[in-house]
C-alpha cells in the first residue's frame, strides 16, 4: 500500500493579522523599523494531555516591511511541537488515505462486518499549536499589515534604475487593473513614483534658480501625469482594502463550513453497526478533503476549530479496526518519511540566510504534521531528533531579531541626540550673515548624520522623525526670515558696488599711472567696507569689479617694458641658483644641507622678475630642483608647500601693485582660515556628542578624528602663510 498519502490529520491553519493602513503622501523623510517579536504561549488543550512529551507554544513576530522580508513568520519554540501518545487502552490509529485494491477491499469488508475489535497498541498525535505558513487559515503574507509610506520615507536606492514616469504610471495602471495587487509590487512602483516626483521638483527648482529666482520663492508645479499617479496609488490602496474586507467575510463563512464538517464527522462517530464501513470511510475522507480545502479562518478561532475537529477525528478512528500488519507497515513508511524530514531540518543549520532557513523549517513542520504516526519505540527518538534540529534554527532566528532590536535602540539614541542638538541652537547669537552661514553648515552636517543612521524601533519612528523635522523646519524658517529682513540693505549695497564698478571702469584706461593707481587702491578699500549683496548677484558684481582693476594693473605692467633687460639678467641669475641647488653637496649633514638649501631659496626669492613668458618654465625648474633636495632630506610636505608659497608672495611683493595684491591674498587666506576653523569646531562638537552617546559608533568617530587632524594641519599651514604675507607688508 502507498502510505505517503496517509494523512488524516488536518493541516494546521495559519492566521496572521491583515491590516491595511492608509498610505501617506505628504510626510517627508520617515524611517521604518523592525518591531522585535514577542512570544505568546497559549495553553495546549488536547486529548490525552498527560501523555504529551512536550507542550506547544506560539511565538509571534511582527516585522517591519522596510527592514525585513515581506512575510513575517512566527518563531517556533523548541517545545512548539508535541507528540501525543495515546494510552494503550484507548487506541486511535491514524486515518487511511490510500486507495485499496480489490482484494484488500474485500478483506476489509469482511473485517468490518466482524463485530470484534482489532487491538491497536500504538497511536501518534502531532499537535502543533503555532502558525505555519502554508496558506491554511491566513492570507498571503503580502496582505499583512501595511505600513504608511510617503514620498520622503521611501529611500533612494542607487542600485535600482529609475524608470521613466510614463512607464511607472503605466505599471500603476496595470496594478490597479490586476485582480489582487501585491504589496511588494505596489511598494516598488510607489517608490519609483516618488523618486521621479522628487527629481521633477528638483529640476523645476534648478530652472527657477538659474533664471534668477530666490529659493524661498520657489513653488513647484505638479505635471498632470504625477497627479494621475497619485490618484492611481490612492485607488490601489482602496482596492487592496476592499480585497482584505472580502477576505474577512470569507473567513467567517469558512468558520460555519468547518463547524458543519465537524458536526458531520461527529455523526459518523455515532454510527452504529457499521455494516458498510467502506462507504462510511469514503464519506469521512471526503469530509477531510473538504476541511483541507478550506483555507482562511479568523486567527482567534484557529485552535478552537482544530481541537474540536481533531477530537472527533480521533473518535472516528476509535471505531476503525485496522489489522496489525497494515499498521506496522504504515509505521515503517512514516518513520522513513520523518527521518528524511529530520535530515532536511539538520541541513538548514548550514543555511547562511537565517530568515530563509526559518521559513523552510515551517514547511518541514507542516510536512511532519501531515505524516502519520510511528511505532512507540521509535516515537520519542525521532521526535527528539526533529525537535533538536528545530531548536537550532529557532535560536538563530531569535538571535537575528535581538541584534536588530539592539541596533534600532542605538539608532534611536543617536537620532535623539541630533534632535537635542538642533533644539539647543541659540538663535539670539545668530546676528550676522556669517553667523547664519556657519550654523547652516552645522545643521546640514547634522542632516547628513541623520541620513546615515539606520532604522529605529517602530513605536518611536514617527515620533522621533516629527521631532527632527520640526527642529529643522524652525531653523530654516528663521534663516529665511533673517535674510528677508536684510533684503533692503543688500539692495543698497548692490547699488554702491555698481557705482564702484563704474568708477573703476571709467579710469581703467588712464595712463596717469601714479595717480590712477592711488585712486584704484582707494576704490578697492571702499569696496571692502560695503556689506553683502543679494546672493544671485555676488559672482557677477565681483567679476565686473575685479576685471576693471586687473585690466588697469595689467596695462600698467605692460607699460614698464623698460625692465626687460633686468628681467633677462634675473632669469640667468635664477638659472645659476637652480644649478647650485641641483649640485648641492650630498656629503653634508641634514641640518647643514637644509640650511644651505634655504639660503639658495632665499637668494631665489630676492632675485626680481623674469620675462613673463619664462616665468612658469623657470619656476618649474626651481620647484623640481628643490623637491628633489627635499625628498633627499626627508622634509615633510607642509614645509615644502610653505616654502613654495613664500616664493609666490615674494614675486607678488615686487609687483607695482604689490600691496593691493598682498591685501587681497591675505583677505582670501583669512576667509579660508575662518571657514576651516568653523568646520573644525563643528566636527569637534560632533565628536563630543558621539563620544558620549554612541555605543558602536567607533567607525564614524575614527572618520571624524581623521578629518579633524587634517583640518588642524591646514590651519597651521594657513597661519604660516598669513604671517609670510604680513612680513612682506
How does residue 278 score in pLDDT terms, banded at 50, 70 and 90?
low
pLDDT of residue 573: 92
How does residue 394 score in pLDDT terms, banded at 50, 70 and 90?
very high
pLDDT of residue 403: 83
Q: Which residue has the higher pLDDT, 78 or 171?
A: 171
Is the alpha carbon torsion for 527, 528, 532, 534 positive or negative?
Answer: positive
Whether residue 44 has pLDDT greater than 60: no
pLDDT of residue 171: 85
Residues 510-521 pLDDT 10s? 888 788 989 999
| The three grid cell numbers given for residue 223, joined into one nine-digit string | 505635471
Q: What is the mean pLDDT of residues 705-721?
A: 85
Whether residue 251 has pLDDT greater than 60: yes
DSSP class of residue 13 equals P
pLDDT of residue 57: 33
Whether residue 432 has pLDDT greater than 70: yes
Nearest to 82 by CA among 48, 40, 111: 48
Whether residue 170 has pLDDT greater than 60: yes
| The three grid cell numbers given for residue 607, joined into one nine-digit string | 632675485
Whether residue 30 has pLDDT greater than 90: no
Are 12 and 136 within 8 A, CB to CB?
Answer: yes
The mean-pLDDT minimum among 353-362, 510-519, 627-636, 691-700 falls in: 691-700
Residues 460-501 pLDDT 10s? 989 999 999 999 999 999 988 888 887 888 888 899 999 999
> How many beta carbons lie within 10 A of that of residue 268, not counting itself?
18
Whether residue 156 has pLDDT greater than 60: no
State the Cα–Cα distance between residues 400 and 396, nearest whole angstrom: 6
Is the alpha carbon torsion for 444, 445, 451, 455 positive or negative?
Answer: negative
Whether residue 84 has pLDDT greater than 60: no
The mean-pLDDT minimum among 273-282, 430-439, 506-515 falls in: 273-282
Whether residue 123 has pLDDT greater than 70: no
DSSP class of residue 568 equals H
| The three grid cell numbers given for residue 365, joined into one nine-digit string | 513542520
**What percentage of the chain exceeds 70 in pLDDT?**
73
pLDDT of residue 95: 32
> What mean pLDDT value characterizes the chain?
74
Whether residue 150 has pLDDT greater than 60: no
Instruction: Name the one residue in this structure whose C-alpha cell is 483541507.
Output: 292
| Max avg pLDDT among 78-87, 336-345, 561-570, 642-651 | 336-345
pLDDT of residue 696: 52
pLDDT of residue 186: 85
Q: Which residue has the higher pLDDT, 14 or 389?
A: 389
Predicted TM-score (pTM) of the model is 0.30
Amino acid at each position: 500500500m502507498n502510505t505517503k498519502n496517509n494523512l488524516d490529520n488536518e493541516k494546521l491553519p495559519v492566521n496572521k493579522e491583515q491590516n491595511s493602513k492608509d498610505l501617506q503622501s505628504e510626510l517627508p523623510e520617515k524611517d521604518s523599523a523592525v518591531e522585535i517579536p514577542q512570544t505568546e504561549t497559549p495553553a495546549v488543550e488536547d486529548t490525552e494531555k498527560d501523555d504529551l512529551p512536550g507542550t506547544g507554544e506560539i511565538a509571534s513576530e511582527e516585522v517591519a516591511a522596510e527592514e525585513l522580508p515581506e512575510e513575517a513568520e512566527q518563531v517556533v519554540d523548541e517545545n512548539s511541537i508535541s507528540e501525543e501518545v495515546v494510552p494503550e487502552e484507548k487506541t486511535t490509529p491514524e486515518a487511511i488515505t490510500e486507495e485499496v485494491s480489490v482484494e484488500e477491499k474485500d478483506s476489509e469488508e469482511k473485517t468490518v462486518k466482524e463485530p470484534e475489535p482489532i487491538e491497536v497498541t500504538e497511536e501518534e498525535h502531532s499537535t502543533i499549536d503555532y502558525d505555519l505558513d502554508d496558506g491554511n487559515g491566513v492570507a498571503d503574507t503580502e496582505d499583512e499589515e501595511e505600513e504608511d509610506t510617503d514620498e520622503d520615507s521611501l529611500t533612494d536606492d542607487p542600485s535600482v534604475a529609475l524608470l521613466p514616469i510614463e512607464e511607472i504610471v503605466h505599471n500603476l495602471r496595470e496594478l490597479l487593473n490586476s485582480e489582487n495587487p501585491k504589496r511588494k509590487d505596489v511598494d516598488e512602483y510607489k517608490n519609483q513614483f516618488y523618486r521621479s516626483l522628487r527629481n521633477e521638483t528638483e529640476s523645476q527648482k534648478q530652472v527657477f534658480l538659474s533664471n534668477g529666482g530666490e529659493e524661498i520663492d520657489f513653488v513647484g508645479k505638479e505635471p498632470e501625469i504625477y497627479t494621475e499617479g497619485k490618484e492611481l496609488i490612492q485607488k490601489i490602496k482602496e482596492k487592496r482594502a476592499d480585497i482584505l474586507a472580502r477576505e474577512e467575510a470569507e473567513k467567517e463563512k469558512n468558520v460555519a463550513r468547518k463547524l458543519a464538517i465537524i458536526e458531520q464527522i461527529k455523526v459518523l462517530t455515532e454510527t452504529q453497526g457499521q455494516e458498510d464501513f467502506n462507504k462510511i470511510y469514503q464519506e469521512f475522507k471526503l469530509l477531510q478533503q473538504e476541511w483541507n480545502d478550506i483555507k482562511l479562518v479568523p486567527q482567534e478561532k484557529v485552535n478552537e476549530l482544530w481541537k474540536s475537529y481533531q477530537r472527533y477525528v480521533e473518535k472516528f478512528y476509535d471505531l476503525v479496526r485496522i489489522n496489525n500488519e497494515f499498521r506496522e507497515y504504515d509505521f515503517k513508511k512514516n518513520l522513513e518519511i520523518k527521518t528524511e524530514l529530520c535530515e532536511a531540518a539538520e541541513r538548514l543549520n548550514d543555511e547562511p540566510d537565517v530568515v530563509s532557513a526559518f521559513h523552510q523549517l515551517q514547511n518541514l513542520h507542516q510536512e511532519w504534521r501531515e505524516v502519520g504516526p510511528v511505532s512507540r519505540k521509535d516515537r520519542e527518538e525521532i521526535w527528539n531528533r526533529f525537535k533538536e534540529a528545530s531548536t537550532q534554527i529557532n535560536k538563530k532566528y531569535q538571535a537575528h531579531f535581538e541584534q536588530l532590536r539592539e541596533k534600532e535602540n542605538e539608532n534611536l539614541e543617536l537620532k535623539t541626540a541630533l534632535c537635542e542638538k538642533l533644539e539647543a541652537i541659540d538663535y539670539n547669537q545668530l546676528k550676522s550673515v556669517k553667523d547664519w552661514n556657519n550654523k547652516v553648515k552645522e545643521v546640514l552636517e547634522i542632516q547628513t548624520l541623520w541620513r546615515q543612521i539606520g532604522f529605529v524601533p517602530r513605536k518611536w519612528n514617527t515620533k522621533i522623525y516629527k521631532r527632527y523635522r520640526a527642529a529643522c523646519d524652525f531653523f530654516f524658517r528663521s534663516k529665511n526670515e533673517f535674510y528677508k529682513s536684510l533684503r533692503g540693505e543688500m539692495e543698497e549695497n548692490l547699488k554702491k558696488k555698481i557705482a564702484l564698478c563704474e568708477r573703476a571702469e571709467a579710469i581703467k584706461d588712464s595712463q596717469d599711472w601714479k595717480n590712477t593707481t592711488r585712486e584704484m587702491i582707494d576704490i578697492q578699500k571702499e569696496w571692502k567696507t560695503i556689506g553683502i549683496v543679494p546672493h544671485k548677484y555676488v559672482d557677477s558684481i565681483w567679476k565686473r569689479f575685479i576685471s576693471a582693476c586687473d585690466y588697469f594693473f595689467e596695462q600698467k605692467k605692460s607699460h614698464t617694458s623698460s625692465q626687460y633687460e633686468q628681467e633677462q639678467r634675473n632669469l640667468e641669475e635664477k638659472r645659476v641658483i637652480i644649478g647650485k641647488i641641483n649640485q648641492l653637496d650630498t656629503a653634508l649633514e641634514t641640518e647643514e644641507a637644509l640650511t644651505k638649501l634655504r639660503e639658495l631659496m632665499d637668494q631665489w626669492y630676492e632675485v626680481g622678475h623674469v620675462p613673463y613668458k619664462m616665468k612658469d618654465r623657470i619656476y618649474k625648474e626651481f620647484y623640481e630642483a628643490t623637491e628633489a633636495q627635499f625628498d633627499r632630506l626627508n622634509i615633510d610636505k607642509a614645509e615644502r608647500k610653505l616654502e613654495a608659497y613664500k616664493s609666490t608672495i615674494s614675486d607678488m611683493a615686487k609687483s607695482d601693485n604689490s600691496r593691493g595684491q598682498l591685501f587681497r591674498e591675505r583677505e582670501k587666506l583669512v576667509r579660508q582660515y575662518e571657514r576651516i576653523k568653523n568646520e573644525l569646531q563643528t566636527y569637534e562638537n560632533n565628536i563630543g556628542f558621539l563620544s558620549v552617546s554612541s555605543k558602536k559608533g567607533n567607525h564614524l568617530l575614527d572618520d571624524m578624528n581623521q578629518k579633524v587632524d587634517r583640518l588642524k594641519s591646514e590651519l597651521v599651514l594657513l597661519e604660516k602663510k598669513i604671517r609670510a604675507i604680513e612680513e612682506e607688508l
